[in-house]
Amino acid sequence: MRLAYLTLALVCSTSPLAAQELERPARWKVRFDRPAPDTAIYFVTMPPGWHITTGPAAILYDPSKTAQDEYRVQSEISLFPGERREGFGLLIGGADLQAANQSYLYFLIRKDGRFLVKHRAGSETHVIIPWTEHSAIIKHDGGEGEVKNVLAIECGAQQVRFFVNDQLVAWLPRSEMDVDGIVGLRVNHSLNVHVTNLTVEPLAGDTR
């Protein structure tokens, strides 16, 4: 966390324009798992991308960023040093994200090289793939620098496939889940991450 605040101080000292860039991204919304003040998260535009330091676990999304039919959503995320072994990654199929009946699918990784797939429906969550180790995930060994991983989800006609650093780590039948809707990010408790991008593109070629 100290590294994030140091970066913030350095950027703010360079120019008024840089300071303006460190505002909360326009149109983006934050929802915590449990009620918390807006100040419980540090979420700013920091080119390239956004810097996020959480207190409670939260989802972050732009309501206008949606995906449907056959598509690929991808994000490059760097994890900074920290004690917590918590997950971070992508959400898809988001619906009613500010309501009691919120719904979304999420794909997370964590510092020990494991990934998870879950679904949230209202206040309940359902484990689809439990925390599972995979060699594609670059672990954070506790050193001082950040560790970067690229997460992607491909929603084809028949399958939903989950990738880390361009390696397939799991797949599920699309018929078992609703993946059309808002796409965004999920960052669990007390993590310090930098998200370089969040892209959505039509799925071309192999559309399994």
Report the C-alpha gap between 177 and 175 in whole angstroms.
Answer: 6
Q: Does domain 2-202 have CATH number 1.10.10.10?
A: no
- Could you read off the pLDDT of 83-94 as tens digits, one per residue? 889 999 999 999
Report the C-alpha gap between 23 and 32 in whole angstroms.
Answer: 19
| Radius of gyration from C-alpha coordinates of the chain | 17
Locate all alpha helices (DSSP H) within 13-122, ordered by sequence: 16-21
- Could you read off the pLDDT of 21-74 as tens digits, one per residue? 589 999 999 999 999 999 999 999 999 999 999 999 999 999 999 999 999 999
Domain ranges of the chain: 2-202
Q: Whole-model pTM?
A: 0.89
- Could you read off the pLDDT of 104-141 as tens digits, one per residue? 999 999 999 999 999 999 999 999 999 999 999 999 98
Could you write out the DSSP letters of every residue in 105-168?
EEEEE-TTSEEEEEEEETTEEEEEEEEEE-TTSPP--S-SS-EEEEEEEEE-SSEEEEEETTEE
